[in-house]
Amino acid sequence: MKIPVTGFVMDFRDEDGHHSHKLYITSWNGAPVHVHQFSGVTSVDVGHSHHYAGWTAPARSGIPHVHGYYSVTSLDKGHTHVIQGTTGAAIGLPGGGHYHSFEGHTTVNGSPPHSHTYSGRTGNAVNAT
């Protein structure tokens, strides 16, 4: 089965100078997609916390859905953590639009090795076009 997908590819270079490409999907099977911004602060563990921010993976608009998310935390106490997972279902807003809740545990890192918990809710949907 072939599903028509539209979008664009952009060159990307990370902090270490590594080159890659990022794919931005703008429609899936003829339907527009959208993303959400998310940000927050982890729990305080081993005397510190971390900030994180990012955009969810795209999802089709107008149907029940969830989003994947991924981010690397701020560098604190000489290390970072990864947060990633899948949001909960869409929660409607009174004036239209929706948001998603998310929560989880970071990867284990640092000295001593530890993780942090995090939770929050995304911002309102933004069209990915």
End-to-end distance of the chain based on CA atoms, in angstroms?
Answer: 25
Q: Which two tokens stand for residue 116?
A: 């942090």
Residue 55 is assigned to a structural domain of this protein: yes
pLDDT tens sequence across 1-24: 776 666 656 666 666 667 776 666
pLDDT tens sequence across 63-109: 889 999 999 999 999 999 999 999 999 999 998 889 999 999 999 99
Residue 43 is assigned to a structural domain of this protein: yes
- Position 129 pLDDT exceeds 60: no
Distance CA 49, CA 26 (A): 35
Residue 2 is assigned to a structural domain of this protein: no
Residue 12 confidence (pLDDT)? 62
CA 66 to chain centre: 11
The whole domain housing 54 covers 32-127
Residue 42 confidence (pLDDT)? 98
* Contact by Cβ (8 Å): 72, 42: no
Residue 45 is assigned to a structural domain of this protein: yes
Burial label, 33 (beta-carbon count in 10 A; 0-12, 13-18, 19+): buried
Distance CA 83, CA 81 (A): 7
Number of domains composing the chain = 1
Q: 0.85 cut: is pTM over it? A: no
